[in-house]
Structure 1
Amino acid sequence: MKTTETIGAAADAAGPLRNAHPRRIRQARWAVSAAFFANGFVVGHWAPKIPVLAARLGITESVLGALVIMFGLGALISLLAGAVLTTRYGSDRIVRWTSLMLAPALLLISLSPSLAMTALTMLWLGIFLGAMDGAMNANAVSVEKARGHAIMSSCHGFWSLGGLTGAPLGGWMLVRFGDIGHSVGVLVLTGIIVLAAQYYYLRDAKVMAIGDEADSDGWSLGKVLALLPTGAGIYILGLCAFLSFVPEGSILDWSALYLAQEHKADIAYAGYAFAAFSGTMALMRFLGDGLRERLGDARTFLISSLIASVGFAIAGLGAALPVVIGGFLVCGVGLANMVPIVFSAAGRFKGVEPAIGIGIVTAFGYSGALTAPAVLGFVAERTGLAIIFAAFAVILLATGLLSLSLRSLRE
């Protein structure tokens, strides 16, 4: 209701987008959904490839960790650089090119003959994954404005679906076809998806020139820096993204170990926590757009943070294994729509170009996902994981209260 009015008002301001043919808007909606699916699909295939890469290169966990940091640095750098490129050239162009460059990334990693080359290909993966991430979120905001209705949650649902599809399929392909065969398969499948969507992305209503094409001063540092907002609001929104990404990443990185070590779960059941979490998260993201339009972004975000807080309290304090797994399931319900809401709000933040707003907020979120595993591992050695998960209940409660100060979620 409130969200529909907000997006509708943004659409009125968007001009040409609002007048686009309904069929064109529908095509654009499915094209950007395909981009989200393809991005998640590559990430899903990357997960089972990690131990294969470590075995092929004969590297230790610490060296593998350094390679993952290269991936993360590439993603962070490209989010900010990609935001500037998206603002200059439009999100549709950047999604097109970055998706094509992402498709062969895993094959390049598989073909790397040395540790140094692998580090460079990891950087490649991070750069184009991150740049595509920011651009496709910006394009989803453009489609939201054109439709006058929310789509961001379901777009993230397609990302989750891509990951849920890619991970098990990737494991099977690695066993059946080997490292190179798997990577070639990912290149072909991802290529088919992104090529099918290439001509259907919606052009942004306004592409803000850092300088005209004929202006030789177009890429001056001053003009680039002028795009960065000076108000605190967008950075508080980024903090909300940070505080939403970290709990989500903690379940991915630590839930299986938590069940195995602190609840003595059999290895066959250790993955159930993440399965329960990711399954409910994907489902709730597909339901999220309707909830946002009924309740509004501010109320949906607050309720989601409270539900996630309850889920982490159950997961951290529960004694029986089914109760703990149920807690992670509730976490999925709560966390599902927090990040999509923050991204959507960043894309329509007043006085900030959509790509810049999304780039800043996504960079905050990625930094949380990158730093959290190491910090949580250090703390867990001293306190145990149960206390960490219980602490997230308090953190998410605080995140919900922090969101009340953000006008961008209410407007």
Structure 2
Amino acid sequence: MDASVYARKAVYGRWAVAWAFFFNGFLIGSWAPQIPVFMTRLGISEFTLGLLILVFGVGALSSMPWCGYLIGRYGSRAVVKGFAVFCSLSLLLVALAPNVLTAAPALFLFGAVIGGMDVAMNANAVEVEKKLSRAVMSSSHGFWSLGGFAGGGLGGLLIEAHGYLTHAVVVTLIAIVLGLAAFRFMITEETPVVHEKQKLAFPTNPLIYLIGLMALFSMVPEGSVLDWAALYLQQERGADIATAGFAFAAFSGTMSIMRFLGDRVRDRFGAVNTLRVSALIGAAGMLVASLAPTSWIAILAFAFSGLGIANMVPIAFSAAGNQEGTSSGVALSMVTLMGYSGILVAPSAIGFVGGKAGFGPVYMVLAGLLIVVFLMANLAKSADRNQN
């Protein structure tokens, strides 16, 4: 293949995978404003809603181990496109569910296809990095955050003006158009190579599990800010509801900005150095937030922590996808599973501990988890194998 054609296809592939991340984040963001309506129309309690949201998470985690096998057999592009078809329709199925008995399997399916696509698009981003010989993972996750912002913002306006069902139909149509316009330009592995003998199997390389542990320790603090920071500021720092809401907004905002800058930072300083500095920034922010005397100092600390945490998971994913002797799909399915398990399981444990001991000590412990990632950072050196 002519070098210019090869380079052009790689660039197209880079933007196609960016749209895949946007697509996935857009659907997740579109689900968020549906939740209050979903609860009201089904007439369920907060407890039941929590269980149904847990079903969504279980669906996502259940599909992730299979993705390594599917990617190894068919290639990441085919798997992304296949899951995207079901993703496009999944929110509409949830919106059409008339009762809990139908909503539960609809949410399980929604979570399964979102989670499966998540693994496949990360594997495809690793392939793009190899073809371009530069990092794109952090900015790809930035597009996911941007999609979530767009989905949440559009959703609130559409539901208020036209109702939840019209919103679900519009989201479905937008998703279909995005998929048809962008996914045909995705690149894939030259020939899918299955290092795990074309069967569903766990990675045999122990480094995969250590990288998965880094992803887990990086994602638990992110989930803790999402679920508990507002309550922490209200109950322990005397913030009003409006002020408390700025905690995650500030954290998410700095994360989004840093993810779009992260690839250039990583290309210049290397994955290991970037991860070390990121972990220290994240830990420092969490520690200050845990000790902050006022709500606004805590908010600023959470925002500072977001600058560090932003690129930790993308680096872990790149490191997993570049492990020699293991297909990127198999490695990423395990690391994604371990990382997202923290977001699924940790909130309930954090809530229990926080209710007994306060959330200040919890955030102090989470700072310690980020220090552990700092100490393990050298394991991420494989993230730079995509670069010349």
User: Is the pair's TM-score, using the shorter chain for normalization, greater than 0.5?
Assistant: yes
Deviations 1:85-144 (A, max 9, x none): 111001001111211210121111111122111001101111110110000001111111
The residue number in structure 1 matching 2:357 is 383
> Structure 1 residues 204, 405: CA separation in 2 closer, same or farther (over 3 Å shift)?
closer
Is 1:288 aligned to 2:262, yes or no? yes
The residue number in structure 2 matching 1:51 is 36
Task: State how many pairs are aligned.
Answer: 385
TM-score (norm 1): 0.90
Distance 1:32 1:404 in 2: 28
Alignment of 1:47-86 (within 5 A): 47-86=32-71
The residue number in structure 2 matching 1:3 is none
The residue number in structure 1 matching 2:20 is 35
The residue number in structure 2 matching 1:162 is 147
Distance 2:376 2:319 in 1: 15
The residue number in structure 2 matching 1:322 is 296
The residue number in structure 2 matching 1:400 is 374
Does the CA-based 8 Å contact 1:71-1:126 persist in structure 2? yes
Distance 1:344 1:322 in 2: 35
Distance 1:147 1:406 in 2: 19
Does the CA-based 8 Å contact 1:17-1:146 persist in structure 2? no
CA shift, 1:203, in A, is 2.1
Distance 1:387 1:163 in 2: 30
> Structure 1 residues 93, 182: CA separation in 2 closer, same or farther (over 3 Å shift)?
same
For the residue of structure 2 that corresponds to 1:95, the secondary structure is helix
CA shift, 1:51, in A, is 1.6
> Structure 1 residues 109, 410: CA separation in 2 closer, same or farther (over 3 Å shift)?
closer
Does the CA-based 8 Å contact 1:237-1:361 persist in structure 2? yes
Alignment of 1:175-324 (within 5 A): 175-208=160-193, 223-225=198-200, 227-324=201-298
Letter aligned with residue 158 of structure 1: F
The residue number in structure 2 matching 1:25 is 10
Select which of 135, 153, 157 maps to 2:138. Answer: 153
Percent of aligned pairs sharing the same letter: 44
Greater CA drift, 294-303 or 184-193? 184-193
For the residue of structure 1 that corresponds to 2:44, the secondary structure is coil
Q: Which runs of 5+ in 2 are unaligned?
A: none
> Structure 1 residues 153, 18: CA separation in 2 closer, same or farther (over 3 Å shift)?
farther
Letter aligned with residue 139 of structure 1: N
The residue number in structure 2 matching 1:344 is 318
CA shift, 1:18, in A, is 8.1
Distance 1:403 1:97 in 2: 34
Letter aligned with residue 333 of structure 1: L
CA shift, 1:206, in A, is 2.9
Deviations 1:55-93 (A, max 9, x none): 111111221122112111111111111221111001001
The residue number in structure 2 matching 1:213 is none
Does the CA-based 8 Å contact 2:229-2:247 persist in structure 1? yes
TM-score (norm 2): 0.95
Does the CA-based 8 Å contact 1:240-1:399 persist in structure 2? yes
Taking only aligned residues, the RMSD between alpha carbons, in angstroms, comes to 1.8
Select which of 351, 370, 375 maps to 2:344. Answer: 370
Distance 1:24 1:222 in 2: 30
> Structure 1 residues 38, 405: CA separation in 2 closer, same or farther (over 3 Å shift)?
closer
